[in-house]
Amino acid sequence: MDNNPEKNSLRKLLLERRDTTSFDMMKIASEQIYKKLRRNKIFLDAKKIGAYYPIGSEVLTQDIMQEVLSSGKELFLPKVIREGMEFRKITDFSCLEKGNFDIMEPKDDCPVDNNLDLLLVPTVGISQDGVRLGYGHGFYDKFLSENKIQTISLVYEKQVIKKIPKSDHDILMNWILTEERFENVSQIR
């Protein structure tokens, strides 16, 4: 768990900001994000894609996941295992069950494969240079420190801020995708 007080207050502020988004606006923004993603070369070229099942006011990913499944690509979702996380292949939504933190996760019999081409990362907030603020558990940072994968942070435009304090363990995102932009931030640094 992240013990940085500045990050914790920023996380609280950004979650409150995101949680005030109406469901209709979430659907509209998520659809715009989906349309931008499905036309991008990095997504089109990827064969093995990691995603997440959304909770609360996160960017809705069901259409993205359905696109991956229907296009013949392989889809992987995270499963929390003790202090870590691994990705497991799913072939449809019936492969999911409620897991840790009441998040839909792949069932135990889904095959593990952490060698992904692309990972769509849930995000509470992100700085313009790719410092991601998650929920503070460190699962994605730990996973990405052990697995070198192209990352796209899925976030609403109002969650992109000027600066987020970077901790030593933070893994920078490669791309920021909002309803208004699809930016390669690894070129900015």
For the chain, which residues make up each domain, given as ranges? 5-187
Is the pLDDT assigned to residue 62 strictly greater than 80? yes
Range with the poorest average pLDDT among 6-10, 21-25, 58-62, 170-174: 6-10
Which residues contact residue 37 at a Cβ distance below 8 angstroms, ignoring those fewer than 6 apart? 43, 64, 120, 152, 177, 182
More confident call, 110 vs 100: 110
Q: What contacts 24+ positions apart, CB below 8 Å, involve 164-168? A: 164/7, 164/10, 164/125, 164/126, 164/127, 164/131, 164/132, 164/133, 165/4, 165/6, 165/7, 165/10, 165/131, 166/131, 167/2, 167/4, 167/7
Of 135, 153, 165, 148, the C-alpha closest to 61 is 153
What pLDDT score was predicted for residue 70? Answer: 95
- pLDDT at position 184 is 92
pLDDT higher than threshold 90 for residue 86 = yes
Label residue 101 by pLDDT band (50, 70, 90): confident
pLDDT digits 0-9 by tens, 5-36: 888 899 999 999 999 999 999 999 999 999 99
Counting residues of the chain whose pLDDT is more than 90, the rounded percentage is: 83
This prediction's pTM: 0.93
pLDDT in tens, 121-138: 999 999 999 999 998 888
Return the CATH class of domain 5-187. alpha beta
Query: How confident is the model at residue 2, as a pLDDT?
Result: 62
